[in-house]
Amino acid sequence: MMQTQPKPILLFNDECAVCRHIGHWVQRSAQGRSGETSILVQPIGDDPERLRSLNPDLDIWDAYATIHVLMPDGSMRLGGEAVAETLRNLPNTKWFAWSFATTIFGFRPFQVVLNAAYAILSDVRPLFGCESCGKPRAMKPIAQVTKWAKILFGGSLHPSPHFSSLSAAKRRTVAISVEPLPQSSHS
C-alpha cells in the first residue's frame, strides 16, 4: 500500500559522502522560517519493502543508481529532473529553478545542461568519497565524453554501472578448498 505524502521526498544514498553532503544541505535549505520543510529528505536505506511502501514502482537498485524525488501525486522524478524538482522546492533556489522548465522550440536547454551536469557528477563522485561505489576505474576520457555528450543530446539519464570495488584482474575463482568456518555463536 502506497503511503501518501503531502510533500515531495528526496531520496539520497547515505553510503555516498557526496550524496550525503548534498542531502543534508537540501534538508537544511528546505527548512522555512516557521520550521516547516518544503521537501522531505530521506536516506534510501536497505529495505526494499519500505521503499515500495513509498511508491510501488520504486526499485531499491534504481534508487541507488539514480537520484529520485517522489512526488505527492505518485510520480517520480529521476536524475537531472529530480535535481530541478528539488531546486524548485527550496526557498533559496526556486527563483532560478523556473528556468529548467523553459522550453525553446520544444527543447529545454537548461534542463538538458542540468541532466548532463548530474550525469558527470554521478560519474565522478567516487573521487570525492563514495563508500558504496568502491574505487573508481581509471578514467577513460573519450568514452566518458562520448557518454556525457549522448546524455546532453537526449540519451539515457541512467548512469552506467560505473564502479566495481573489484577490478577485472582481481576477478577470479578462488581455489576450491574445504576449510572449517569460524564457529558461529548461533550454533
Identify which of residues 142 and 178 has a Cβ nearer to other proteins in the complex.
Answer: 178
Letters for 74-103 (x = contact with other proteins by CB under 8 A, - = none) are ------------------------------
Instruction: Count other Cβ atoms within 10 Å, centred on residue 111.
Output: 18
Considering only residues 34-63, where is the footprint of other proteins by CB under 8 A? 44, 46, 48, 59-61, 63
Which position among 10, 18, 65, 83 is part of the footprint of other proteins (CB under 8 A)?
65
Cα separation, 182 vs 114, whole angstroms: 51
Which position among 3, 53, 146, 165 is part of the footprint of other proteins (CB under 8 A)?
165
Q: CA dist 67 to 81, 119, 139, 168, 172, Å?
A: 9, 10, 22, 27, 32
The amino acid occupying position 62 is D
Instruction: Count other Cβ atoms within 10 Å, centred on residue 107.
Output: 10
Does residue 180 belong to the site contacting other proteins (CB under 8 A)? yes
Q: Facing residues of 70 across strands?
A: 9, 76
Does residue 164 belong to the site contacting other proteins (CB under 8 A)? yes
Does residue 157 belong to the site contacting other proteins (CB under 8 A)? no
